[in-house]
Amino acid sequence: MTSRIFVALDTPDLSRARAIATRVRAHVGGIKLGLEFFAAHGQAGVREMAHLGLPIFLDLKLHDIPNTVAKAVQALSPLEPAILTVHAAGGRAMLEDAKAAASPKTKVVAVTMLTSLDATDLHQTGVTGTPHDHVVRLAALAQEAGIDGIVCSGEEVASAHAAWPKGFLVVPGVRPAGGPAGDQKRVVTPRAALDAGASILVVGRPITQADDPDAAARAISATL
């Protein structure tokens, strides 16, 4: 079975990203490339990483008016990423247009609430209720819009899975038991996230900053 782990290569350094991906490729199911990488290297950098033969999760969290997002997704479609993120807060029309513009080979998933935020952060933006309530509302919106799934923390994935059994549920902010949380506020272990219904897990620093990234990826995979 292909690993459910996507390693987050959150770096603007192409050589470092390629080196880490090469080291861990036998123990991960794909690689996640985010804003730092894309801002530095653009589509050419994504194509360079694609030569490694691993599925690519392009985590750009697109959020703009529907027409702009649709055109951006259309511009990215030749890359055929396995997964592409947009923001659920962009609204139903934006989500629908993003899905319509994407390559048929790409899963479009909506970011609900960043794992670096908690209830206090949410309230400061004017959103009432708990993070759990907010994520469940946005998950319902994403499902109604006909996209493939959502990104949510491990704290909400069980509820999202219960409401959307066929949704593609991406859980970032995953940390091995006893590991440092870093700037993440809502974290769970890889095993707990998978048991709760996660489709894939995004793991960054516990692998990329380990003394031996390959051993770290292998150890996390063993818990699954």
In this structure, the chain runs to a length of: 224
Beta bridge partners of 33: 58
Whether 61 is catalytic is: yes
CATH number of the domain bearing residue 149: 3.20.20.70
Domain count for the chain, please give it: 1
Q: What is the mean pLDDT of the chain?
A: 91
DSSP-derived pairing of the beta strands 200-203 and 83-87: unpaired
Question: Which range, of 59-73, 90-104, 166-180, averages the lowest pLDDT?
Answer: 166-180
* DSSP at 127: -
Which of the residues 61, 99, 166, 185 is marked catalytic? 61
The C-alpha atoms of residue 75 and residue 52 are separated, in whole angstroms, by: 22
Q: Is the pLDDT of residue 183 over 70?
A: no
Q: Label residue 188 by pLDDT band (50, 70, 90).
A: confident
Confidence (pLDDT) at 179: 53
What are phi and psi for residue 102, nearest 5 degrees?
Answer: -80, 155
Q: Label residue 171 by pLDDT band (50, 70, 90).
A: very high
Q: Label residue 187 by pLDDT band (50, 70, 90).
A: low
Q: Is the pLDDT of residue 186 over 60?
A: no
Confidence (pLDDT) at 185: 52
Exposed, middle or buried: residue 77 (CB in 10 Å: 0-12, 13-18, 19+)? middle
The C-alpha atoms of residue 44 and residue 215 are separated, in whole angstroms, by: 30
Using one digit for the tens of pLDDT, what is the confidence trace for 56-83? 999 999 999 999 999 999 999 999 999 9
Domain of residue 216: give its range: 5-222
Decide if 114 contacts 132 (C-beta within 8 A): no
Question: Which range, of 26-40, 56-70, 137-151, 207-221, averages the lowest pLDDT?
Answer: 207-221
The C-alpha atoms of residue 24 and residue 12 are separated, in whole angstroms, by: 18
Confidence (pLDDT) at 13: 96
Using one digit for the tens of pLDDT, what is the confidence trace for 130-156? 889 999 999 999 999 999 999 998 889
- Take residue 149 and report the two structure tokens written for it: 């799934």
What are phi and psi for residue 86, nearest 5 degrees?
Answer: -130, 170
